[in-house]
Amino acid sequence: MRPAHEAAGRPGSYVDDTRRERRSRDEGTDVMPVAIITGASKGLGRALGRALAERGWDLVLDARTAGVLEETAVALSGYGTRVEALPGDVTDAGHRAELVAAARKLGGVDLLVNNASALGAEPLVRLEKLTLDGLRQALEVNVVAALGLIQEALPPLRAAPAGTVIDISSDAAAEAYPTWGGYGASKAALDHLSAVLGEEEPGLRVWAVDPGDMATDLYAAAVPDDGDPRPTPDSVVPALLRLLDERPASGRYGAPALLEER
């Protein structure tokens, strides 16, 4: 895997290149790239959505809570982009199909971000106390639903000028932390799924990204007694944008390292 700093590509070129190729295919119609983001109502999903909206991307946003998702959609549409907000559960195959159908109506799927996550237990517990139903929930949301959405989106991703999948991983996928066993196992599975997909789909970029520590509702639910300050999701977004701009080889990347190399 090439390190990010060795990647070819011109910073800021993704939107211009995608728009240029789409214009030629559509006989003069200027169509902006389209992203599907799950878990997009707050945290990293919303922060990335805002950054893409600022760049002119059209967005299809998913989250379980309709009211909060609608607030996010209204805010992001203020940047002049088209935003489709579809509340639902990513474990529902029908909902996943609706997300991809909405993206097709906007022009296709250039980027799929599997960001929705489940812990399996709130707060986190040691493995001896982790229920098997909790583990199944983490695997269903973090792995099975992610693969289901990838499968649904593969045809338009392959047809896109620069089809990309970003699977949001975790440091717990690679390191053994007490109480993080179920969640970490699910993210480790997602990492391997991403690695295999990258080999099977050489025409796409598939990145599993460890965002590092973040102050999110998910982390607060996982470790409610941890009051230490943590970086905001907004501080992680430049790492994701760097991947989109430079388009390094498919693989696993850590946001902290990407930010340090800038």
Domain residue ranges of the chain, discontinuous segments joined by +:
4-252
User: Please, which pLDDT band fits residue 31 given cuts at 50, 70 and 90?
Assistant: confident
> Shortest CA distance to 148 belongs to which of 89, 204, 106?
89
Give helix then strand counts, H and E, for the chain: 10, 7
Q: What percent of the chain has pLDDT over 90?
A: 87
Instruction: Determine the Cα–Cα distance for residues 36 and 18; give it in Å rounded to an integer.
Output: 16
3 confidence band (pLDDT: 50, 70, 90): very low
Query: Hey, what CATH topology would domain 4-252 get?
Result: Rossmann fold (3.40.50)
pLDDT of residue 5: 33
Q: Do residues 170 and 210 lie in contact, with contact meaning Cβ atoms separated by under 8 Å?
A: yes
pTM value surpassing 0.85 = yes
Q: Give pLDDT, residue 159.
A: 99
Residue type, 251: G
Q: For the stretch 55-91, what's the b/e string if a residue is b when 16 or more beta carbons lie within 10 angstroms of its beta carbon?
A: bebbbbbbbeeeebbeebbeebeebebbbbbbbbebe
What is the spatial distance between Cα 12 and Cα 78, in angstroms, rounded to a whole number?
22
CB atoms within 10 A of CB 106: 22
Taking only the tens place, the pLDDT of each residue in 233-261 is 999 999 999 999 999 999 999 999 999 98
φ/ψ bin of 79: left (φ > 0), alpha (ψ from -120 to 50), beta (otherwise): alpha
pLDDT class for 2, splitting at 50, 70, 90? very low
Q: Per-residue pLDDT averaged across 89-114, rounded?
A: 99
How many CB atoms within 10 Å of residue 143? 21
Structure confidence by residue, pLDDT tens digits, 139-162: 999 999 999 999 999 999 999 999
- Strands of the sheet containing 164-168, edge to edge, are 83-87, 58-63, 34-37, 111-114, 164-168, 205-210, 251-254
Q: What was the pLDDT predicted at 10?
A: 35
Give the C-alpha separation, 150 to 168, whole Å.
Answer: 13
DSSP designation for 80 = T
Quote the pLDDT of residue 118: 99
pLDDT at 104 over 80: yes
pLDDT at site 15: 62
Catalytic residues: 183
